[in-house]
Structures are given as C-alpha cells and as structure tokens.
A and B are shown apart, each in its own frame.
Chain A
Amino acid sequence: MTEASPAKPYALHLGVIALLFALSFVLPDYHHGLLARIMVLAVFAMGYNMLFGYVGLLSLGHAMFFSAGLYGAGLTVYHLGWNVPAAFAAGLACGALLALVIGLLALRTTGVAFMIVTMMFAQVFYLVILYFASWTGGDQGLVVQQAARVLVLGSASLDLTNPTVRYMSALALFSIVLLITLAIVRSRYGRVLVAIRENEERTKMLGYDTFSNKLIAVVVSGTICAASGAAYALLFGYVGSSFASVQYSILPLLWVLLGGAATTLGPLIGTLFMYYVIDITSGFTSAYLLIVGIALILLVLFFPKGILGSIRQRWLGWLP
C-alpha cells in the first residue's frame, strides 16, 4: 500500500467505464442484455466487497439489503404508484435504515458469530416477506408493470424497459458506485477500514472508534446493495422472495472471492465470470453446477486471492 499516484487507478477505472460504454454499441443483443444485468449485480457485489474485502467482516445475510432495495422500490411502485426516482430513493432508504439497525445489533459480534447473526437476520427478513404475502406476493413475487418503469425528466421520458436505456442506466449506477468505492478505499477512512481488518485491537489503541467506523461501513455496504436491488426491480420488473433467500447472500461472496476481495474491480470480474461460466456450461449439460464447482476449485488453487487479487499480488501492486 505505497502511495501510488492517483492517476493510474483513476485512468484504469475510467477506462473500464469507457469500455463498458463502448461495448453497448458492439455487443450482440443477448450479451448486451446480460451485461446490463451483470452490471447491476456487480453493484451488489461491490457493496458486499466494501464490508467483506475492506473491513474483513464476512456477512452471510447481504441478501436482505439487496431485497430491502428491491422491495423498497418495487412495492412503492406497485402499491403506491410512486415514480421511478422516488421509488429508487425509497429502496435506498430502506437499505440504509435496515443496515443501520442490523449493524447496531450484529456488530456486537465478530467472526463466525457475525456470520451466523447476519444469516439469521436475513432469514427473518426472508420469512417476513413470505409472511406478508398479500403485500409482497410471497414466494411468487410481483411484476412491476412496464408502464410504471418510465423515468420522467422534465418534458423527456426514458423507458427503462428499452434495452439501450436499461444498459445505460445500469452503467450509470455501476460507474457511480465504482467511483464512490474507489474514492472511499483511497481515502483516510478506507485506510482505517483496512487497519481494522488487519488488526482491530491495534487500531483501537491508535485511538480510532472501530465500532462506529465499522457501523458506517455496514451502512454504506447495505445502501450500495440496496441500490442494486432497487435498480433490479425498476430495470427488470420482477420483485420476488428468492432474492432474499440464503442463495443470494452467498452469491455476492462468491463473486467477490472470484474477482478478488478488496479490489475495486474484482466484483465486476467475479460476477462476469460466474455469469458466463453458468451461461455457457448450462448449454452443454444439466450438471453445469458441477463444472462451476470445479472452476471454483481451480480458481482457489491457482488464484487464491481471486482473479484481480492475484494479478495485484504478482504484477500490478498499485491496483486499488
């Protein structure tokens, strides 16, 4: 963690954003649509990475933050007829509030206990969604109609179901979150988080209030995940409880581990990799999860720090 010039990382990140922008014009329809989805879910992974990668807190309950955003945005549109920006804001607010409450309670624990507590809270959240099935659609979920997914800006209106608008919206969200993440991890606050991860006791002795620093990280992480969930509801039109299941708590962990924990671009690479491995292998065999499993084992063996983490370790030490 030497003081690298800020130019390189910023150039790289802006380059990635420019590349994703350019891809919009050359990708075939299917991959265009898939990449939009991957960018939205990469935001989920980035939110997860904020806590897991930089603070070293392994949560098994982040599906609840994603779904807080998903339901916060989806239900306000579905039941209250809110417009897109208001619904998105509602999703963010739900995620932030939930993260604050969960953070206050769960941060009393560490390590394995933190994993269990977050998983339990996520399970409670999942069951609450099922319990209020008349509002949430239960395990079947709800469809946010196309007509409600239009972003009105003054006299102009953007139809979020249009593939190009959807791609650009996903890219905008991804870019904003990527740059925010980059700014955070390069800031003094980001270094404090890494210090907590490396040695919390020593950080305390240096005079830092580690609890509130961690709490802020939980809230930032939860809000980013909620942004992803809210965007998912508004861009893809489906709100369902399967997103709150434990599977969606494990997926971001997997994406982050694959791409490289504590790397800003790792979540994107991990999500991209997993999506395409599943997409390609499922075309050949119904035992595709076996292949995914083998791919994961090989990655862990040869890239123990994830794809980008290993690249940073071996070649590009300046990667944030």
Chain B
Amino acid sequence: MTDKNGFFDLSKSTLSRRTALKGLAAGAGLAVAPGFVRYSQAQSSAPVKIGFQSHRTGIGAAYGRWYEKTTAAAVKAINDAGGINGRPVEVVIEDDGTDPARGAEVVGKFATQHKTDIVFGTLFSHVVIGSAPAAGEAKIPYFVVSEGHHVASTKLNRYVFQPGITDVKSQIQSMAPWIAANAGKKVTQIFPDFAFGYDHRDYLPPALKAQGADVIAQIAIPPTESSFTKYFPQIPAETEVIYHVMVGPAVLTFVKELGEFYGSNRPQLFGFMDSLEATDINSPGLEFLDGSHFWEGSPRYAQPDDSAAQKAYRAAVGIDDNGAAVGDPKDVSTASHMFGCWETLYVVKKAMEDAGYKGPEDRAKLVEATEALTEFAEGPEHPQGPKTFNGKIHQCFGIQNISKVEGGKLKVVHKTKIEDGLYEPEGDYTTQAL
C-alpha cells in the first residue's frame, strides 16, 4: 500500500512556478472560451426558450397531451420557417399536475431555473389564477390558453395574456342570438356547480334577454354527482331548449339518463363542446345527442368548406377528418381548444418580432408589443379564423362555431361574427406598472 508508482508520485515532479502559471492560464482560457462562444451566440442564434406549463397529470391530463402535440407542431412550423427573429424556438415542459400551488412553483422554475423567455400554455382556470401572481412577480410574460374570463376580468396582472383563444364570457354571449332565433325562447340551463358552470349561469341570462329569450330555470349539479335522473323533474315543462355544460366522465351518464327521461319527445338541446372534448361523439349512450347542437371553438370534424390554412393546421397537428389522431381513431383530440396553442405561439412570434426581442431583459418590451397588437388575420398562423385583440384587457375576440350532431359527426351550421362576442372592458392592465 505504501508502494508509490511514478504516475501518482508528485514528489518526483518538476513542476515549476512558471509551468504552473502557464497551465492555470491555459485552463482559465479554456474555461472562459465556451462561455464566450455561448455569449456571442445568445445575440444571434441561441434559442428562444418557451416554458410550457403542461397539465401532464391531474384532471387536465387529456387536454395537456393534445396541447403538447399542438405546441410541438406549431414550434416545428415556426422553426422550419426560420424561427423567431432568426432564432430557433425551444420548448421546456414542466408538469403542473393541474394544481394551482404547483403551477406557481413551475412558473418560478421557468423564470429562475430554466430561465425561459416566457411561460405558456396553461388551460385550467384555477392553475392560471394560482400561477398569475408568480408570473407578475417574476415579471415574466405568461401566455395562457385557458378560455376562462379571468384574464379579461383584469383581476390578474399585466404579465398575463390570452391572445389565442376567446374567453367563455364572449363565447356564451355569441351563442345567444342563434339560440334565440333557431332553438327556442325558453331556456333551462343545467351546469356543474363550480366556477366553469357559474360563468354560464351568470353570462347566459343577460345575453339571451338581449335577444328576447329567457332562462326559465337554472339547475346546478354538484360536481360529485354520478346520477342525474333526480334533477330532471326540475326542468319546467314549457322548456324549449336545454342548455347543458356538464363536464368530466359524468357527461356520458348525464346524456344517457336525459335520453331515458325524455325518450323521443325532447326539447332542443344545446351544449358546449367542453363536455365532450377528447370523447368520441359516437360513444355508447351518446346516441341521444343526435340532432342536437354544440358550441365548438374550432371544428373537430373536417368541414367541406375548410380553408387551406385549416387543412394545413390539421395535417401539421396530426388529426384526421374525424378529429382523432392520425392512425388511432380512438384518440380523439381536444380540437375546440388546442388550436389556441398554435395561434398563441404565432402571437408570441409576432410580438417578439415587433419588440425586437433579444432576451429576458426585453420582457417589458414584449409586454408592450403584445398590448399594441390589434388584429390577427385568418391564415396559416390563425387557422381558426380572424381575431381582434384588446391590449387593455389582454384578451382576443374571434368567431365561434355552432355544430349539429348529424350521422355521428359534427357539422358546422353557423359561424358567429367577432362583434357577437364583444363586451365592455372591465378594466385596463396598461395602467399597471411594468
């Protein structure tokens, strides 16, 4: 054990002070060089890093998966076309567990550990609201694809934007003229007894009133409920339209029991596609929906009059004519919402280009450049349709689709106008300090 071989025996070495200094200098040079190269690259070709707050686990997982697919497709399209300001886009994904507390931590992680340029992609409202303070404090722009009214309510902060999908208040308001004119004037609402349902409970009655129709009953169903038959006798006999927005696995039971309750003689049915996202419309039990109508953000099924941009978008994301994954007809997409990821990324691209965005030091400029946007024309970047953007409330406004269930498919029968969904701004984010 005491035997020294020459290799490890430093006592024999003839290391002079000069040699040591040379070595140190060379080492220091080597250590600095890659950093220097990296720094010079940051000005030109270092990637734009986008922190994607994804619902990989938890109740939002079905949405999260399709949001990831759409985002990957959009990033590929952007990179193939030269990236943003000549820089490639790189997406860093963190799972928020669809939990608001973890969501806030994830935003912090993007801002301080991954050092991403922006945070993007959150869907569930409570996660957006829980994460918004963290984004505002870290002063990192936070682009959500949530459809909640929380951004437009101006109750969050100046760093939160929703430029790629319309909010639920606007969606509900746009539905009212069609419902009143085509489905009926006496409407009974059935909705889950939590926030998503409350948006419908609160925004539909005034919107219908303005069209000369009325909500004659509102039936809130506790989210824990698994059987609905006992609620149906509360539906007034004179009801002409049942407006339903049930979500989650219970929706299949809900529809089946509604079918058993009414038989063939039912009122008109109008629902929101949120109920059936990622669910096959031809699932057993959903036959009762035949002939009923749904709101759709972007149509699930390919339509005969689809624009070239819509076709290209569907091909890029990998969904077939039935809105399912190409090669796996059972993997139904969340088409009504996920287009928002695609469109939001193109808004980010436009705003970064307008701001001459170079890195995190330009985040405030990016916020201002986004606020300055006003219109997004329909096309490859906005395949769902044209939109306007209100920089004061950080929210976009666009067209909505009303589709009829016909022969096991959804056929778009009406497209609303942007103006149908406009409302008075409830505040102004631009007055807040950056």
Question: In the complex, which residues of chain B have a beta carbon less than 8 angstroms from the beta carbon of A23?
Answer: none
> When chains A and B are docked, how far (Å) is the Cα of A238 from the Cα of B150?
14
**CB-CB contacts below 8 Å: A198-255 with B:** 236-238, 240, 242-243
Q: Mark B98-136, 1 if CB is under 8 A from A, else 0.
A: 011100110011011100000000000110011011101
| A28, B112: Cβ atoms closer than 8 Å | yes
Q: Which of A95-103, A142-150, A260-268 contacts its partner?
A: A142-150
Interface segment among A10-18, A133-141, A169-177, A305-313: the answer is A133-141
Within 8 A of A (CB), among B127-149: 129-130, 132-134, 136-137, 148
Q: Verify A140–B133 contact, CB threshold 8 A.
A: no
Q: Report the minimal beta-carbon distance from A293 to chain B, rounded to whole angstroms.
A: 13
**92-139 of chain A: CB within 8 A of chain B:** 130, 133, 137-139
Partner of B148 from the list A140, A144, A279 (CB cut-off 8 Å) is A140
In the bound complex, do residue A133 and residue B133 qualify as a contact, i.e. CB atoms below 8 Å apart? Answer: no
Residue pair A139, B112 in contact (C-beta under 8 Å) = no
Q: Which of A34, A141, A145 contacts B129 (CB 8 A)?
A: A141
Main secondary structure of the interface of B (DSSP, over half): helix
Contact A29 B112, beta carbon cutoff 8 Å: yes
Kindly identify which residue among B97, B125, B157 contacts A145, using a CB–CB cutoff of 8 Å: B157
Question: In the complex the two chains form, what is the Cα distance from A50 to B126 in whole Å?
Answer: 31
Task: Please list the residues of chain A having a beta carbon within 8 angstroms of any beta carbon in chain B.
Answer: 28-30, 32-34, 37, 130, 133, 137-146, 161, 236-238, 240, 242-243, 279, 282-283, 286, 288-289
**Quick one: CB contact mask for B147-179 with A, threshold 8 Å, 1 for yes?**
010100001110000000000000000000000
Does B94 belong to the interface (CB within 8 Å)? yes
Query: Known interface pairs A137-B129, A282-B94. Does A146 touch B198 (Cβ–Cβ under 8 Å)?
Result: no
* Contact (Cβ within 8 A) B56 A236: no
For residue A39, give the distance in angstroms from its CB to the closest CB of chain B: 14
B114 CB, min distance to chain A CBs, angstroms = 8
**Cβ B100 vs Cβ A237 within 8 A:** no
Number of A-B contacts (CB under 8 A): 89
For residues 52 through 107 of chain B, which have their beta carbon under 8 Å from a beta carbon of chain A? 56-57, 94-95, 97, 99-101, 104-105
B308 within 8 A of partner (CB) = no
B195 at the interface (CB under 8 A from A): yes
CB distance from B65 to the nearest CB of A (A): 10
Decide: B109 and A30 in contact? CB cutoff 8 A.
yes
B→A interface (CB under 8 Å): 56-57, 94-95, 97, 99-101, 104-105, 108-109, 111-113, 125-126, 129-130, 132-134, 136-137, 148, 150, 155-157, 193-195, 198
Nearest 3 CB-CB pairings of A with B: A237-B133, A29-B112, A30-B113
Contact B157 A146 (CB under 8 A): yes
Q: Which residue of B lies closest to A159 (CB)?
A: B137
- Assess the A141–B198 pair: CB atoms within 8 A: no
CB-based contact B113/A28 at 8 Å: yes
> Which listed residue, B99, B156, B157, B198, touches A242 by the CB 8 Å rule?
B99
16 A/B residue pairs, CB under 8 Å, sorted by A: A29-B111, A32-B112, A33-B108, A33-B112, A133-B198, A137-B129, A138-B198, A139-B194, A140-B126, A140-B148, A143-B133, A144-B133, A161-B137, A238-B132, A240-B130, A286-B95
Whether the pair A286, B56 counts as a contact (CB closer than 8 A) is yes
Instruction: List the A side residues contacting B57 at CB < 8 Å.
Output: 286, 288-289
Q: How far is the CA of A286 from the CA of B58 in the complex (A)?
A: 10
A143 and B125 form a contact (CB under 8 A): no
Tell me, rounded to whole Å, the shortest Cβ–Cβ distance linking A152 to chain B.
Answer: 18
A76 to chain B, nearest CB (A): 17
Are the CB atoms of B104 and A143 closer together than 8 Å? Answer: no
Q: Which residues of the partner chain A approach B198 to less than 8 Å between Cβ atoms?
A: 133, 138
A139–B130 CA distance with the chains assembled, in angstroms? 11
Task: Determine if A143 and B129 form an interchain contact, defined as CB atoms under 8 angstroms apart.
Answer: yes
